[in-house]
Amino acid sequence: MIDDQEEQVREDACRDEKILRWKQKARAAARRKQARKLYVITLDPRVLGRKEFRQANPGYIEGMPCLYVGITIHQPGDRFEQHKSGYRSSKYPRQYGVELALELIEGFDAEGLSDEEKEEGLADWLRDQGCAVWQH
């Protein structure tokens, strides 16, 4: 029992250190006015069991991937880790996130779009291909 508690304390401390580093990186990137990056996370297909998710994707084609689309000032790998740890996370990538799928962005033309339009545009573009997509 004590070993489990000690392990939990270590995990919490490690998570807190990561959060502090992420906050520092975000502040530094904001000061540099660093461009935001689109990212895609593959979700476990069990997310289709969630009524809200399924209703947001009426054009979903069975067998196509389930995805989460976001835009971040962080590196996409860091952002994925943030979602999985629960830090500033949407419920779907936290509970159902499997891996980054940056290759799915290839072919999407974001030229001339604002950050918000890029995220929404990518989500719509992927939905048009039959994917089930959630974006925040």
Look at strands 97-100 and 37-43 and give their pairing. Answer: antiparallel
Residue 117 CA neighbour count, 13 Å, CB half: 6
Assigned domain for 27 exists: no
Assigned domain for 126 exists: yes
Looking at residue 105, its pLDDT comes to: 95
How many other β-carbons are positioned within 10 Å of the β-carbon of residue 10? Answer: 10
Q: What is the pLDDT of residues 94-112, one digit of tens each?
A: 999 999 999 999 999 989 9
* Better pLDDT: 3 or 42: 42
Assigned domain for 87 exists: yes
Assigned domain for 49 exists: yes
Assigned domain for 107 exists: yes
> Which domain covers residue 105, as residue numbers?
34-135
Is the pLDDT confidence value at 22 over 80? no
Looking at residue 11, its pLDDT comes to: 75
Assigned domain for 29 exists: no
State how far the Cα of 103 lies from the Cα of 39, in Å rounded to an integer: 9
Q: What is the pLDDT of residues 24-78, one digit of tens each?
A: 776 776 666 668 899 999 999 999 999 999 999 999 999 999 999 999 988 999 9
Assigned domain for 15 exists: no
Strand ranges across the sheet with 97-100: 97-100, 37-43, 66-72, 132-135
Looking at residue 132, its pLDDT comes to: 98
Looking at residue 136, its pLDDT comes to: 77
Number of structural domains in the chain: 1
> By percentage, how much of the chain surpasses pLDDT 70?
90
Looking at residue 29, its pLDDT comes to: 64
Looking at residue 5, its pLDDT comes to: 79
Q: What's the chain's length in residues?
A: 136
Q: Of 2-11, 14-23, 33-42, 81-90, which range is least confident? A: 14-23
Looking at residue 64, its pLDDT comes to: 97
State how far the Cα of 41 lies from the Cα of 57, in Å rounded to an integer: 16
How many other β-carbons are positioned within 10 Å of the β-carbon of residue 103? Answer: 8
